[in-house]
Amino acid sequence: MSANVAAHDDHHDHGPEKGIVRWIVTTNHKDIGTLYLAFALVMFFVGGTMALIIRSELFEPGMQFVDPQFFNSMTTMHALVMVFGAVMPAFVGLANWQIPMMIGAPDMALPRMNNMSFWMLVAGVLLLASTLFMEGGAPAGGWTLYPPLVLQTGDALPFAIFSVHLLGISSIMGAINVIATIFNMRAPGMTLMKMPLFVWTWLITAFLLIAIMPVFAGAVTMLLTDRFFDTSFFDAAGGGDPVLYQHIFWFFGHPEVYVMILPTFGVASTIIPVFARKPLFGYASMVYATAAIAFLSFIVWAHHMFTVGMPVAGELYFMYATMLIAVPTGVKIFNWTATMWKGAMTFETPMLFSIAFVVLFTMGGFTGLMMAVAPVDFQYHDTYFIVAHFHYTLVPASIFILMAAGYFWLPKWTGNMYNERIGKLHFWLSAISVNILFFPQHFLGLAGMPRRIPDYAVQFADWNMISSIGAFIYGFSQLLFVYIVIDTIRGGTGEKVTDEVWEDAKKHSLEWTLPSPPPYHSFTTPPEKIPTEHF
Amino acid sequence: MSTSDAYYIPHKAVWPVIGTLGLMVTLAGFANYLNGSSIGPAMMIAGLTLFIVMLAGWFTLQAGESESGMYNHGVGISYRMGMMWFIFSEIMFFAVFFGTLWYTRNLSVEWLAGFGDGPGRATNDLLWSGFEGGWPTNGPGEVGGEYEPMGAFGLPLLNTIILLSSGVTCEWAHHGLLKKNRQQLIKGLIATVSLGFLFVLCQAYEYHEAYTEMGLTLGSGIYGSTFFMLTGFHGFHVCVGAIILSVVLFRSWKGHFTPENHFAFEGAAWYWHFVDVVWLGLFIFVYLM
């Protein structure tokens, strides 16, 4: 690997362009990472506002604030914005900031394409957001865009479809960049099995993305032609099948949810050892478990469709295959717990979020296991139980870990320390309110309350009210995070952090050997020593 | 020409934003057009123009940098990985439509016709009793009316030969490049590009026949849908591949490329072979079977 000494076409100095132009034309992995993270944070609040509209409407039975069509637009857009606008871009932002620093590279392998994948994301989200103001309203058939319902969408349909295409192009370019960077830009001595787990999980995630985004693009393209060009892909009269769309969608959709959780695992595996002051337990098994989960994600998709009418053999196969996922996931939970076992633990904000992730994600995982059982799923399908399940795997898992990553790396990125008191306050408010928000939804689902419905029977009133109260506490607590981010960038507590920020972090990963904040181009010469603490 | 020994990291990039804007305007225009808005076509033309300007500008920039020796071995590896995984994503895109063909042909049409124990029989009894399935089909509703399915021999077989030959001429050109035989390189590329466009012409003729003589259209039920979607996307990829190869031909004529440094040629050739293999799948599963 001779590829590690950087050359630049700068006739001026190594620094960035001035003003706003810097952010538009930048090819720098840190700048682009910052763009991604800032964009994701904004989208987190856009999607969050939609969630609060939903929870306001559901505060009481009966119709309160919005009409049913708009309510359904909100559930649809909330999902699309959070998945494609917030969680995925946030992890791409982390990848941009961290991967070059963690593997000892000067930058990402394909910097110009890196810039393009960010702007493609913005273009895609702009098209999607524009549908809110169109004749017939934004898409309201659910984020899965199932035909034939979604084909009744008004003017928004082609915009939503092209938005998916742009988001897909963005993700594929980002993923290709991650793969090329990890395979081609590692410092000498940084063998694959010495890479921090965050890098490993992103490598595997990138393969998932390249394999699934074209599949989603193909599916929505068929929606487009069914609506506008007379094709019969999803129309039984012409010999097609609406269920076919569901198969294709979930062939994309199931790996897609792992795209949001695998990097989460990676960050947790990076943070927990630092605050347990121990090497990560079972490094190799973590790598293999991640790969196993990724592989399994491709062969379990129809567990989203147990009630749709499949041959019994299909139901059985997808049931057992799905349950298999619990094995590698269990390995991971075990390893995180074993990492903490007898560790000299301290509980700074990133560690608090990470521990909450381990506990609450386990719960989300168990409800997933419940629904893997096909006959049982007939009861839970499309109720609030599934809503509770996947929100437990996304909010106190992916979102919590994104927050943890923010607290963990902001001092490195800015050179300033965040306010630990407000950080802890943010954590406790989030951890408590997220359970007030989502735990009652399990009960609602088990009692039979359907999802994506703006009104409900009176027996569901109490738990809905509690859930909505939790939602508002959770939503507004997140403003603390915005305050902390801005405050830390502007100087934070005033305390200048050391290079490694956290005690002995240097032993775990390369980014802590760089100054805080790190130089504009991370490793212009390869690092001399590769940390090996995780063995 | 010297090759830098450092990994080249460009300092700023203006083309990505321009290209993104072009693509977004094109797609927004197309969406407007589909919704019946009169502003659509103008937006599409503006967006496509911007996109083409971006392609020309960006590739000129890259070619210039490559020729001035700014890319070391490591940069070449990154580009090759990029191309490889891009082609993999294309394979997945085509897999969707091949999968659709397989699923409808072997499962859903059979179920509509009442085969199988589970959902099939009920669907047939309740909705489409009398429908017997089989392939090709435009479904129990006979969507699109009478049509004649496309045969395999004749033009499609000729097209298979044309495209496979172009794969051979492409490799012949590559050997010319490796042996520093400029004549062979340029002749091979001219043959490849010509065969590529000839293929597209034949395909256009076939489509014309289908629409005017055979009653076979995109609206001819699931058979018409899968036929035109698969061959149409493939034809589009042949066009793109032929344009890429034209650019490579132009650069070869300008004296770019050495046996050691010719990523653009390699990438284009990989893409061309990929398009070739997809066609083989199409010929077997869409035309022959």
**Does residue A336 carry a catalytic annotation?**
no
Last residue in a domain, options A345, A363, A378: A345
Mutate to test the interface with B, among A116, A133, A182, A521 (most CBs of B within 10 A): A116
> Tokens representing B133?
């399935």
Confidence band (pLDDT; 50, 70, 90) for A534? low
Whether residue A338 sits in one domain with residue A368: no
CA distance A137 to A75: 13
> How does pLDDT run across B240-288, given as a tens digit for each residue?
999 999 999 999 999 999 998 899 999 999 999 999 999 999 999 999 9
Mean pLDDT of chain A: 94
Catalytic residue among A29, A227, A254, A412: A254
Q: What is the dihedral of CA A59, A61, A66, A69, to 10 degrees?
A: 120
Q: Active site residue: A329, A349, A467, A477, which one?
A: A329
Distance CA A297, CA A304 (A): 12
**Quick one: A281 and A293 in the same domain?**
yes
User: End-to-end CA distance of chain B, in Å?
Assistant: 53
Q: Do the Cβ atoms of A27 and A114 come closer than 8 Å?
A: yes
What percentage of residues in chain B have a pLDDT greater than 90? 83
Ramachandran sector of residue B116 (left: φ over 0; alpha: ψ -120 to 50; beta: rest): left
For the four alpha carbons of A516, A520, A524 and A530, in that order, the dihedral sign comes to positive
- The verdict on A424 and A324 lying in the same domain is no
Distance of CA A270 to the CA centre of its chain: 17
Task: Provide the residue range defining the domain that includes A116.
Answer: 32-146+155-186
Is residue A380 located within the same domain as residue A462? yes
Is the pLDDT score of B116 beyond 80?
Answer: no
Instruction: Select which of A36, A258, A380, A384 is catalytic.
Output: A258
Helix (H) or strand (E) holding A8: strand A6-8
Please report residues of B whose CB lies closer than 8 A to that of A310. 118-119
Rounded to an integer, the average pLDDT of A64-87 is 96
| Residue A224: closest CA among B147, B89, B229 | B229
Q: Do A238 and B78 touch (CB under 8 A)?
A: no
Q: Residue ranges per domain, chain B?
A: 1-71, 73-288
Residue with tokens 């289908």: B210
- Are A68 and A454 within 8 A, CB to CB? yes
pLDDT at A12 > cutoff 70: no
Q: Which of A256, A500, A511, A533 is catalytic?
A: A256
What is the average pLDDT across A322-341?
96
In this structure, the answer to whether residues A331 and A453 fall within a common structural domain is: no
Q: Average pLDDT for residues A330-341, to the nearest whole number?
A: 97
Contact B225 A240 (CB under 8 A): yes
Sign of CA dihedral B108, A231, A125, A200: positive
Residue A226 lies in a domain: no
Residue B137 in tokens? 């089909």
Among the listed residues A332, A330, A348, the one whose alpha carbon sits nearest the alpha carbon of residue A274: A348
Tokens of A426: 């943010």
| Tokens standing for residue B57 | 């500008």
Domain B73-288 has CATH 1.20.120.80: yes
Gap between the terminal Cα atoms of chain A: 24
Phi-psi bin for A67: left (phi > 0), alpha (psi -120 to 50), beta? beta
Closest CB to A232: pick one of B34, B86, B222: B222
Does residue A8 surpass a pLDDT of 60? Answer: no
Asked if residue B23 has pLDDT above 70, the reply is yes
Indicate if A426 belongs to the active site. Answer: no
Is position A130 within any domain? yes
Whether residue A182 sits in one domain with residue A39 = yes
Would you say A340 and A272 are in contact if contact means Cβ atoms under 8 Å apart? yes
Q: Most B CBs within 10 Å: which of A13, A14, A176, as the mutation test of the B interface? A: A176
Q: Provide the number of structural domains found in chain A.
A: 3
Q: How confident is the model at residue A2 (pLDDT cuts 50, 70, 90)?
A: very low
The confidence score (pLDDT) of residue B205 equals 97
Q: Which member of A30, A332, A381, A442 is catalytic?
A: A332
Based on the domain organization, do A328 and A356 belong to the same domain? no
Respond yes or no: is residue A29 known to be catalytic: no
Q: How confident is the model at residue B9, as a pLDDT? A: 87
Q: Kindly give, in sequence order, each residue whose CB lies less than 8 Å from that of residue B91, ignoring residues fewer than 6 positions away.
A: B274
The predicted pLDDT at position B182 comes to 93
The verdict on whether omega for the bond into residue A148 sits within 30 degrees of 0, i.e. cis, is: yes
**Which residues neighbour A32 within 8 Å (Cβ) at sequence distance 6 or greater?**
A26, A93, A96, A108, A114, A115, A118
- B240 three-state secondary structure: helix
Say if CB B96 and CB A218 are below 8 A apart. yes
* Interface with A, mutate which of B89, B97, B98, B103 (most A CBs under 10 A): B89
**ipTM entry:** 0.95
pLDDT at A358 (0 to 100): 97
Residue-level pLDDT at A528: 84
Give the H or E element holding residue B8: strand B7-9
Helices (H) and strands (E) in chain A, counts: 17, 1
- Annotate A24-54 with DSSP letters as a single string: HHB--HHHHHHHHHHHHHHHHHHHHHHHHHH
For residues A418 and A274, what is the distance between their CA atoms, to the nearest angstrom?
18
Are residues A355 and A257 part of one domain?
Answer: no
- A340 and chain B: CB distance < 8 Å anywhere? no
Mutate to test the interface with B, among A231, A234, A249 (most CBs of B within 10 A): A231
Identify whether A354 is part of a domain: yes
Instruction: Pull the structure tokens for residue A511.
Output: 């980014």
A170 is catalytic: yes
A332 is catalytic: yes
Summarised one tens digit per residue, pLDDT across range A458-476 is 999 999 999 999 999 999 9
The full 3-state SS of B195-208, as one line of letters, equals HHHHHHHHHHHHHH
Digit-coded pLDDT (tens) for B127-163: 888 898 899 999 999 999 999 999 989 899 999 999 9
A232, part of any domain:
no
Q: Chain A residues with CB inside 8 Å of B23's CB? A: 120, 123, 166, 169
Q: Of the candidates A127, A176, A248, which has its C-beta nearest B27's C-beta?
A: A127
Measured distance CA(A310)–CA(A320) in Å, rounded: 15
Instruction: In whole angstroms, give the CA distance from residue A361 to residue A400.
Output: 10
> A304 catalytic, yes or no?
yes
Both A253 and A359 in a single domain? no
Contact (Cβ atoms closer than 8 angstroms) between residue A491 and residue A416: yes
Contact by Cβ (8 Å): A426, A356: no
CA distance B31 to B25: 10
A8 catalytically annotated = no
- A303 catalytically annotated: yes
Residue A10, pLDDT above cutoff 50: no
Residues 450-509 of A with CB under 8 A from B: none
Contact A143, A76 (CB under 8 A): yes
Q: Which CATH number fits domain B1-71: 3.40.50.150, 3.10.129.10, 3.50.50.60, 1.10.287.70?
A: 1.10.287.70
Q: How many CB pairs under 8 A join A and B?
A: 256
Contacts of B81 in chain A (CB under 8 A): 109, 176, 179-180, 183-184
Tokens linked to A404: 């943890």
Q: In this complex, is the C-beta atom of A2 within 8 Å of any C-beta atom belonging to chain B?
A: yes
Q: Are the C-beta atoms of A300 and A371 separated by less than 8 Å? A: no
Confidence of residue A512 (pLDDT cuts 50, 70, 90): very high
pLDDT tens-digit readout, A223-277: 999 999 999 999 999 999 999 999 999 999 999 999 999 999 999 999 999 999 9
| Residues near A243 by beta carbon (within 8 Å), at least 6 away in sequence | A305, A308, A309, B108
Q: Among the options A31, A57, A107, A500, which is catalytic?
A: A107
Is residue A251 domain-shared with residue A362, that is, in the same domain?
A: no
Looking at A295, A319, A345, which one is the last position of a domain?
A345
Is A524 part of the contact surface with chain B (CB cutoff 8 Å)? no
Between positions 231 and 270 of A, the ones with CB within 8 A of B are 231-233, 235-241, 243-244, 247-248
Q: Which residues pair with A7 in a beta bridge?
A: B8
Nearest-angstrom CA–CA distance, B196 and B170: 11
Q: Mark whether A350 and A491 lie in a shared domain.
A: yes
Could you say which of A159, A184, A239 has the minimum Cβ distance to residue B78? A184
Residue A3 banded pLDDT, cuts 50, 70, 90: very low
**A254 and A362 belong to one structural domain:** no
